[in-house]
Copies of this chain bind each other. A is one copy, B any other.
Amino acid sequence: MDGESDSNNDRKLPSTARSLPIALIRAREKVMGPIREMLSNSGLTEQQWRILRVLDELGPLDSTKLSENASLLLPSQTRIVQTLVEKGLVTRQADPSDRRRQTVAITSSGQQIILDNLDEAQRIAAHIETVLGKETVDRLLDILEEFDRL
């Protein structure tokens, strides 16, 4: 076996250590670790929390807009909303003017869960800014927003 393949002349992919998909997944894992720990106390998954946060911030939304803001695919969201309805944390009803549309809204119980986790969520966010620096985090968010142009 010779050192380098001869048919593969410099046609190499970036090393997996500098691979964008892998790097993004790793960073997400790191960020989500403490958040998942926090949410397990409320019996919520990360995705359920995202839906509650978006509805609390933007008010009632139809399924499509909710999925865009929570970054969930509709098939996943359908099931997640069903479990949140069963838990009494959101409501879902057909839009009277277009009965294809389902309007989802957070309940007061759902808002209470957000309040219950507010302090801890802020602590986690503050910790990230302390370690990485606020400027770095802002720069990161700016760069990530640019991915919409792909």
Contact = CB atoms under 8 A, between A and B. Distances in A.
Interface of A: 8, 11, 13-33, 35, 46, 50, 53-54, 57-58, 69-71, 114-115, 118-119, 121-122, 125, 127-128, 131-132, 136-137, 139-141, 143-150
A23 B144 CA distance: 6
Nearest to A125: B14
A55 to B, nearest CB: 10
Counted per complex, copies of this chain come to 2
Given A118-B11, A122-B11, A139-B139, A23 B54 contact: no
Contacts of A71: 22, 25-26, 29
Contacts of A114: 13
